[in-house]
Structure 1
Amino acid sequence: MCDKRAAFHPPSSPARARGVTLLELLVTVIVLSVIVALAMPSMRDFLVSNRLSSSVNGFIGLANLARSEAIVRNQDVVICPKNGGSNACVSTTAWNTHDIQAFVDVDGDGTFSAGDILLKTQAAVDPANTQMGMDRSAAGVLTFGSAGYAREAQYFKVYAISSDTAYQARYGRMICVSKVGRIRVADYTLTTCPDF
């Protein structure tokens, strides 16, 4: 005899699809907002620091190229900010808004002219002059002689543009070029390059 109770299964109700409640959604949004609020300053600092390091390393690379080419070619090599419409050097202390070029100064006049050999042009640090500054200690050019010596010791300050001097000091570097042609990064707050 068969048990009718075991054979009968009442129809089960279809499984209900469960979605996200409004309360769960609000809690998720609040948690994400807190995480983003905590991460944003760190991300901004990371981006500023990364851009600064890139600018400093790019300039040091250009200076090392110029120095080695001066030695190899046995001629002066000049680094200068270039005029936007030509390769002529611009005499300014603010180098951040100009492309920076290195060239073999064949005629020795200290500026780019016919017959000089362009080695490399590097894009401006900040053409809009709103985020990054790059200032030279005095207007003029950086010249490496045939022995690899710089014509004069000088420094460049690369920094994040801000009205907050502590922020500039935190995100700023000083690139020192000694008379013997050595290049070194020093603390932004120094007023002169240390001896090296």
Structure 2
Amino acid sequence: MNREPLSTKEKLLDVAEELFASRGVEATLVGDIVQGAGQRNPSALRYHFGSRDGVLQAILEKHLTRIEERRAKLLASWPAPGPRTPRDAIELAVVPLAELLSTEAGRRYLRILGQTMYELAPDQMKGVGKYPSLSATIDLMRGCIDTLPPRVVDERIQGTLLLISAMLAIRARDMSSRRRPPLPLSTFQRNLIAMATSTLTAPHDEP
């Protein structure tokens, strides 16, 4: 069965995703994306997305919507409400992302996410209300360490999410380039959950 031809907007999105993942977001120029999509009009990307940042946000939101659906199903599958452990919160953060390693599109997204997460300031973690299950995950993480000073809590959550995104980006890169990862996938996921849980709950030394 033949696939429907991609629209100009879809071509631009696909090419941008591939280039952002393989070359890097900062190293990819608007002209590279336009040329890769086979467009002669240099303003094609600006017409559809406004800017390079616009197409980057479109890529991130496309995948975030799917991740949100998966995380919501995981939340719904939990037993009756009760105390949640730090590991519960970390599993909710990791599992929907780790599942993306099974497809090339998912691996591209993880490589892009790894490049962009470090730019996210701690106070921006509070601006995820449009993604209820992501917001619930962050709230769970926050609740697990709510005896710490608020600014330390923000730093812990940011550091934990950075660790998760960086490790998944490295794994995605290795898989896409056919490098042999050091750990089997199931072991990698368990180890990442353990590492991230330790980062979130590490002892806090008061001055």
Q: Does the pair score TM above 0.5? A: no
TM-score normalised to the size of structure 1? 0.28
Higher strand share: 1
Larger RCO: 1 or 2 (CA < 8 Å, sep 6+): 2
Higher helix share: 2
